[in-house]
Structure 1
Amino acid sequence: MKASRLLHLLLLLQTRQRITTGELAERLEVSRRTVLRDVEALSAAGVPVYAERGRNGGIVLLPGARLNASHLDPPELEALSVAGLDSAQLERVGLSAVGESATRKIAARQVTTPEDPNPLRLAKVVLVDSTAWFAEPASAIDISDLASALRHRRRMRIRYRSSAEEQATTRVVDPYGLVAKFGRWYLVADHRGHGRLFALERLQAYELLDAPVVLRSGETLRRWETLKQHAERQDRVSITFRLPTNRLDLAKRILGTRLREVSDVDQGFCTAVVGYPDLESVRQLLQFGDHIEILTPEAARTRIRQLAEELVRRHSAPLS
């Protein structure tokens, strides 16, 4: 424990160079006396650190003293290997604490130049937030526990409800791993020899089986890329619609990669094409309200009209 605390103290000093004894005691969750003993231990080991007395005193690390930041612990290396995750997602996979530790070590290696001896770190000006807007998908599964179970490379029996099903069913899968995509988590696995994505919010339970996982030759978690492309290319129905140009940015945000082309931008309106896996997906366009007009195919115009009529019927009579 002491070795870890000494390393933490040194990392804090490399980031700030001068810190009060009280702040160090609070950050390390020890007494001030313990901080002073730790400083003495570091100094005895040849680290140029000392306690400075007086009103503006504190614990000081001489400029130029640097710890080799390549000395990361295995858990910290794991945290960096999934660096695309934001703080909330790191918390869900149980890597929040080691992620912070690795970040401190990286901060201690801040790059300086003669022209700018005290630049801001990139992390101060770039923030990655992988969660979706207005979305907080619920999952009964502890992602950290599931990730740990996947390390054993065993087959799994899962209870899963597909989006088109009302009840969950049991199936045996050969898992590759987990993927975080825009705030949602997916289990990537083979089911009956075919790659599948299982959304964790619809995964109700899982258990490891005694049998080892059986994966197809050459397949890895990178199979996700193939599955993702397949899901994004399920555009069997093309729907052409017209909407005001000042709603085009909203359409791009809502429809994403399904919005395939935009044309005929004239007099405040434009024509666009969206691809869907089936006609019923036209329901998504109801989000645009009276700003949108479906042009083709006729079946999509008919379905939108039916949905609008149903909404009118439901809202015509007062609630009882």
Structure 2
Amino acid sequence: MKASRLLHLLLLLQTRQRVTTTELAERLEVSRRTILRDVEALSAAGVPVYAERGRNGGIVLVDGARLNASHLDPGELEALSVSGLDDALLSRLGLGEARQAADRKIAAREAATPAARASARLSDIILVDSRPWLSGAIAEVDVAELAWALRGRRRLRIAYRRSADAEPAARVVDPYGLVAKAGRWYLVADVEAGGRLFSLERLSGYEVLDRPAELREGETLRTVWTALSARTESTGDVIVTARLRATRLDLARRVLGSRIRTVAPADEGWCMVTLGYPEIEAVRQLLQFGDHIEVLAPDAARHRLRELAQDLVERHAPRPESV
């Protein structure tokens, strides 16, 4: 632990040259006395660092001194290889501290380059947050443990509940790996030589079997995921035409995404949209737009929405005791 702390201290100094003992103590979560002892130990080992007293004093790294501390260890490289994950997801994979260490080393390396010091880093002006809005969904299984189990490339027996079922059922799968999509985790696996997606929110347990996973030749996690996501996001062959209030067009783009085929102006305050669905039943998604939408065609879509709306009216009729 002390070696890690000393390295962190050196990286901070390489980035800024001079840091107060109070700030170092706060950053490293130790006392100011411990910081001073660490500085003494580093100085005794030949590191050009010293404590400077006075109003503008602090811990100082001799100007021009460059420390070869920018290499990344295997854990830090792995943390960077999954750089699309936010801090919460990295922590669940057990890579949170490794990522922080890698970031410190990168910052120290950049601080040694005059051109880099003269401009802002991309990480200072771009933030990637992969969490979904207003979502508290949590996978039932431990993502980090499952990820490590998948490294063995073994078959799994999983307990999985489909969205339409009340209880999970057991099934054997050949896993390719895990995908984090919009803050949710999915297991990508073959079932009888066909790719499938399993949401970890509905995966209640798993068992690693003593048999190698039988993966399709030439297929990888990336290729299978690409095919599955394209199939999931397919707009289908049912084309729905509707009038939509223009004030709800931005919301429709966020909610409906690639299901929107075309948009054209209509009456004042309205626009005409065409939507693609895999089946008529999927038009129930449009109920969330309430009186801001009117489905014009096909008749089957209008009929299904009318049935659903009538069911809602009956369910929300005044209760007898409140009449």
Alignment TM class, shorter chain as reference: over 0.9
Q: Deviations over 1:151-184 (max 9, x none)?
A: 1111100011122333321110010100001111
Task: Give the share of equivalent positions with the same residue, in percent.
Answer: 64
Task: For residue 116 of structure 1, report the CA deviation from its aligned partner.
Answer: 8.6
Q: What CA distance in whole angstroms lies between the structure 2 residues aligned with 1:149 and 1:36?
A: 43
Q: What CA distance in whole angstroms lies between the structure 2 residues aligned with 1:69 and 1:147?
A: 29
2:282 aligned partner: 281
Q: Deviations over 1:136-158 (max 9, x none)?
A: 22321111111111111111000
* Root mean square deviation, CA, Å: 2.2
Task: For residue 83 of structure 1, report the CA deviation from its aligned partner.
Answer: 0.3
Task: For residue 215 of structure 1, report the CA deviation from its aligned partner.
Answer: 0.9
Structure 2 unmatched ranges of 5 or more: none
| Partners of 1:66 and 1:108 within 8 A in 2 | no
1:1-320 equivalences in 2 (<5 Å): 1-68=1-68, 70-110=70-110, 117-222=117-222, 223-233=224-234, 235-318=236-319
| Partners of 2:235 and 2:258 within 8 A in 1 | no
Task: For residue 284 of structure 1, report the CA deviation from its aligned partner.
Answer: 1.0
| Partners of 2:154 and 2:210 within 8 A in 1 | yes
| Partners of 2:139 and 2:185 within 8 A in 1 | no
Q: What CA distance in whole angstroms lies between the structure 1 residues aligned with 2:12 and 2:190?
A: 46
Distance change (3 Å), C-alpha of 1:148 and 1:167:
same
Q: What CA distance in whole angstroms lies between the structure 1 residues aligned with 2:244 and 2:320?
A: 33
Task: For residue 44 of structure 1, report the CA deviation from its aligned partner.
Answer: 4.4
| Partners of 1:240 and 1:296 within 8 A in 2 | yes
Task: For residue 45 of structure 1, report the CA deviation from its aligned partner.
Answer: 4.5
Give the 3-state SS of the residue equivalent to 2:221 in structure 1: coil
Query: Aligned AA for 1:318?
Result: R
Distance change (3 Å), C-alpha of 1:114 and 1:294:
same
* Count of residue pairs brought into register by the alignment: 320
Q: What CA distance in whole angstroms lies between the structure 1 residues aligned with 2:296 and 2:239?
A: 11
Task: For residue 266 of structure 1, report the CA deviation from its aligned partner.
Answer: 5.0
Distance change (3 Å), C-alpha of 1:42 and 1:207:
same
Distance change (3 Å), C-alpha of 1:65 and 1:297:
farther
| Partners of 1:49 and 1:61 within 8 A in 2 | yes
Q: What CA distance in whole angstroms lies between the structure 1 residues aligned with 2:120 and 2:255?
A: 35
| Partners of 1:261 and 1:272 within 8 A in 2 | yes
TM-score (norm 1): 0.92
Q: Deviations over 1:89-124 (max 9, x none)?
A: 112212111111111112223368878955433222
Task: For residue 47 of structure 1, report the CA deviation from its aligned partner.
Answer: 3.5
Query: Aligned AA for 2:129?
Result: D
Give the 3-state SS of the residue equivalent to 1:110 in structure 2: helix
Structure 1 unmatched ranges of 5 or more: none
Task: For residue 272 of structure 1, report the CA deviation from its aligned partner.
Answer: 1.0
Give the 3-state SS of the residue equivalent to 2:316 in structure 1: helix
TM-score (norm 2): 0.91
| Partners of 2:14 and 2:111 within 8 A in 1 | no
Q: What CA distance in whole angstroms lies between the structure 2 residues aligned with 1:150 and 1:116?
A: 39
Q: 4+ residue stretches of structure 1 with deviation over 6 A?
A: 112-116
Q: What CA distance in whole angstroms lies between the structure 2 residues aligned with 1:115 and 1:161?
A: 54
Query: Aligned AA for 1:155?
Result: R
| Partners of 1:241 and 1:271 within 8 A in 2 | yes
Task: For residue 311 of structure 1, report the CA deviation from its aligned partner.
Answer: 1.3
| Partners of 1:66 and 1:109 within 8 A in 2 | no
